[in-house]
Structure 1
Amino acid sequence: MSADEVNSVEQGTQATESRTLPSSLVIPGIKGEMVQLRPATLDDLPLMDELQAYHNASSITGKDAQAERALVHTWVSRSVAWERGLSPEESGVGDPESRRTIAWSVLADSNPDDDDVDDRTKVIGMIFLIDIDSWAKSARIQVMLGRDYRGRGYSRDAMPRVMTYGFAPEPAGLGLHRIWVAVPEKNTRSLSVYQSLGFIKEGTSRHALWDDANQRYQDQIVFGTLVDEYDPIRSLDVFGMHLIEDNPGVKEALAAREHSLAMEVNDSRSKREAREAANDRLSNDLASLIGGDSAEEKAAASKTSTKNDGRGYNWPNSNNGDEDRNAKRSERAWWRNLVNRSRGGNE
């Protein structure tokens, strides 16, 4: 990607960035290798009870089953209201901050076009982008699976694809800047998944949750990742999954990734050129202290007495090029080389 193309991507991103959410949203379906995601409906809510999705909630999310169930009903209601173009107040559950939520039902099926089977029988859980804050470009992600579907890799297939959509620039995605999660300290399985996805530990809320099973308080760990940190390819590859290019936001995410890599290359090139320029200045400065018939000979003479120190600079602090590799370090000191060369011989 050329410098002009990089600038074009930057200008295009800035031009489309908005601090408000649309009044209605067509929630896209998302394909996975193990699961399919479709917009959750109110009719899907009883299925979560049948799946025992709220079993052991205090260990998974840090909330009791009754509270978790009420939250899921709220999130799905808000998601459906947004699809219908209703305001948060009209959703039936309200939202004082006018934030939005997207809820997808997770279907354990790799063929969403199979019309012979009611897809409600394939639902194994839900995944959410919660409290989408258009001003801060932030959202929280959470997965809830039925009791018998946990630990099988379904969330590892679904989460990266939802995050790719969330981070993709508008209108292909939500244009988020940050996605975060909050996890009870005892939920080590989820902590491992989030770290594998590239989430970074941001902090700990001490004794923020009650562990009912062990009758004690537990910490809540907050993890987050930013749009310029998230790699849609690596996040899937770490779990042996593959990118599905016709998923929403994937093409834009790949373009942004290419843009980021191009910026890194340009930055690396600039730093290399700066090091080379500094190196040339150092050589010329040293050459001015060394005898010789011309500036070129002086520079060449100074370079023969230098050695790269690993930081991109050729410091004359070794016997680089000397035949006697066993000479004492003091005899190879850069200032001795300068003195010897200025005198035209050895001490």
Structure 2
Amino acid sequence: MAGTNEVLSVATDTQLRRDLPDSIVIPPIRGEMVHLRPATVDDLPRLDELDAFYGASKITGKDAATERAVVHTWVRRSQAWEHGQAPTESGVGDPESRRTIAWAVLTDADHDDDGKVDASSTANVIGMIFLIDIDGWSRSARIQIILGRDYRGRGYSRDAMPRVMTYGFAPEPAGLGMHRIWVSVPEKNTRSISVYQSLGFVPSGTSRDALWDAENSKYQDLIVMDTLVDEYDPIRSLDAFGMHLIEDNPGVKEALSAREHSIAIQQKRSTGSGTGNVAEAGVSTGAADILGEAPQETGHGTRSADDVSRAAQHQDFAEGRVKEPHTVAERVADEESNWPYGQGERKTSKEAWWRTLGRGRKRDTESE
């Protein structure tokens, strides 16, 4: 009996720790304008050549020297995780055992039509993108991108960030299985705030006078924005910038399955209680049962059909219980008429599709 209790205790402890793996294989990620590969310390001098830390105080609120030191630490932490080094062994570890993944951002573009790749002098590297403070316990991570001075404002971040976030949210082993991804941005960096909003981030808090604005010799607020796994749609975040899905990228298969589940949910809502359209959409029997449930009583009152369907979608995506995706042609054929957040609803970035996602979900608002 004692042996059984010990086994149960070990299993419970393992579950409660929610540990990240001891090592990780950082996947390459392809975009339309850029492609990503694991960053190395050899890439760090290239950031100096790119003048990537120019204007750091406006972009992140840190001075250039501090930003440079932090980025160097992130890359070393990323390589340490790849090599299976514990945070205490790497020399650059986090006392909370949080991890970092760093990708180098590369482009093959020739914008000036001179017959040479724009970033040929830096081996095609134009910047880096990071998932930082990856917290296995809370399933949370922060995302940040840094680009060379001459490569800003060209849409590279809009190509790279949704694809990294798709990997971050995708259930293990396809992705990291994160529940929340967040950013922090100085209040005066309105350009980045607009990009993050279009990606699905919403303001979640403000750190008052947290940063020094050297340009205007005054303090400024730090805005925290985040998005959750059941609020974020990687397909529409790409579409918001005219980008297209690349199906063999990590986590995309799972995202497509969740998307098709949403299509089936919308068909169910629009056609009543019949099951014909659900079957036509190819939803599994378990998902159809969930969709057919009546409103449920909870501690916060009655759950609406929207709440139940969102919960079903979140459960399927977060735990990987999703069906195989249809072909691209089948998905495109369904998109205009069936997708609940279609083109007609996304008139401007201020009325983007993501503003309707997750808003019906019950939250604890008693403390607000």
Q: Do they fold alike, i.e. is TM over 0.5?
A: yes
- The equivalences for 1:61-140 within 5 A come to 61-109=60-108, 120-140=122-142
Alignment partner, residue 306 of structure 2: none
Alignment partner, residue 234 of structure 2: 232
Q: CA deviation at 1:203?
A: 1.5
Pick closer, same or farther for the CA change 1:274–1:70 going to 2, 3 Å.
Answer: closer
Pick closer, same or farther for the CA change 1:274–1:71 going to 2, 3 Å.
Answer: closer
CA separation in 2, counterparts of 1:255 and 1:227?
Answer: 14
CA separation in 1, counterparts of 2:137 and 2:202?
Answer: 22
Q: Which amino acid aligns with 1:65?
A: A
1:18-37 residue CA offsets vs partner (Å, 9 max, x unmatched): 92111111000000000010
- The equivalences for 1:306-345 within 5 A come to none
Name the SS of the counterpart of 1:186 in structure 2. coil
Structure 1: stretches of 5+ with no match in the other structure = 1-15, 112-116, 276-347
Pick closer, same or farther for the CA change 1:65–1:249 going to 2, 3 Å.
Answer: same
Q: Which amino acid aligns with 1:147?
A: R
CA separation in 2, counterparts of 1:119 and 1:161?
Answer: 26
Name the SS of the counterpart of 1:173 in structure 2. coil
Give the aligned length.
Answer: 255
Pick closer, same or farther for the CA change 1:131–1:44 going to 2, 3 Å.
Answer: same
Pick closer, same or farther for the CA change 1:274–1:226 going to 2, 3 Å.
Answer: closer
- The equivalences for 1:167-246 within 5 A come to 167-246=169-248
Q: What percentage of aligned pairs have identical amino acids?
A: 74
| 2:49–2:122 contact (8 Å) kept in structure 1 | no
Taking structure 2 as the reference length, the TM-score comes to: 0.65
1:283-322 residue CA offsets vs partner (Å, 9 max, x unmatched): xxxxxxxxxxxxxxxxxxxxxxxxxxxxxxxxxxxxxxxx
Structure 2: stretches of 5+ with no match in the other structure = 1-14, 111-118, 274-290, 296-368
Q: CA deviation at 1:262?
A: 3.9
- The equivalences for 1:52-67 within 5 A come to 52-67=51-66
Name the SS of the counterpart of 1:174 in structure 2. coil
CA separation in 2, counterparts of 1:189 and 1:118?
Answer: 28
| 1:198–1:225 contact (8 Å) kept in structure 2 | yes
1:96-150 residue CA offsets vs partner (Å, 9 max, x unmatched): 0000000000001279xxxxx9895100000000000011110000000011111
Alignment partner, residue 149 of structure 1: 151
Alignment partner, residue 6 of structure 2: none
Name the SS of the counterpart of 1:80 in structure 2. helix
Name the SS of the counterpart of 2:123 in structure 1. helix
Larger Rg: 1
| 1:35–1:154 contact (8 Å) kept in structure 2 | yes
Question: What is the CA RMSD across the aligned residues, in angstroms?
Answer: 2.6
Alignment partner, residue 42 of structure 1: 41
CA separation in 2, counterparts of 1:237 and 1:87?
Answer: 39
CA separation in 2, counterparts of 1:265 and 1:83?
Answer: 44
Alignment partner, residue 339 of structure 1: none
1:213-262 residue CA offsets vs partner (Å, 9 max, x unmatched): 11111111111000111111110001000000000110011112333444
Q: Which amino acid aligns with 1:151?
A: G
| 1:32–1:110 contact (8 Å) kept in structure 2 | no
CA separation in 1, counterparts of 2:269 and 2:136?
Answer: 31
1:264-291 residue CA offsets vs partner (Å, 9 max, x unmatched): 655775699979xxxxxxxxxxxxxxxx
